[in-house]
């Protein structure tokens, strides 16, 4: 078995001579065959996924890791673990940090902790604007 990260260019629905359904994931001119419908649920053209497959003339996919990104609440218990965030959260964090640095440039005596505190304030504001709490 091999693992490969691919971006899906196309998903073709097919049926063999015995009327059994299967799907072909097309990526960069290659085709990967999926025989279990549950594996492709939630997978769309343009998605980047990691597949586990058996190489050969007709590479059979046995696993698809969709890499679903879920918001992670920071806790002290996750020290040493990698935090997974959505693309939108990543953008918000970057914008918040840039805004904090610009905001605090006027006072060179400010410390890194102050930049992080202000960045977190901006980040929380951006998250509330994107997904307002009722």
The rounded distance, in Å, linking the Cα atoms of 112 and 117 is 9
Place of tokens 């997904």: 131
Give tens-digit pLDDT for 29-63: 889 999 988 888 888 888 888 889 998 888 999 88
The rounded distance, in Å, linking the Cα atoms of 5 and 65 is 9
Give tens-digit pLDDT for 1-26: 888 888 889 899 998 889 899 999 99
Q: Could you report how far apart the first and last alpha carbons of the chain are, in Å?
A: 48
Rg (CA), the chain: 22
């Amino acid at each position: 078995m091999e693992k490969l990260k691919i971006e899906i260019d196309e998903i073709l629905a097919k049926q063999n001579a015995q009327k059994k359904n299967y799907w072909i994931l097309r990526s960069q001119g290659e085709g990967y065959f999926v025989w279990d419908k549950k594996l492709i649920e939630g997978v769309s053209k343009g998605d980047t996924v990691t597949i586990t497959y058996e190489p050969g003339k007709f590479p059979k996919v046995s696993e698809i890791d969709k890499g679903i990104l879920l918001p992670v609440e920071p806790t002290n218990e996750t020290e040493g673990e990698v935090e997974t965030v959505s693309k939108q959260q990543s953008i918000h964090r970057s914008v918040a940090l840039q805004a904090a640095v610009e905001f605090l440039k006027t006072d060179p005596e400010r410390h890194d902790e102050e930049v992080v505190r202000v960045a977190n304030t901006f980040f929380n504001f951006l998250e509330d604007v994107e997904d307002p709490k009722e």
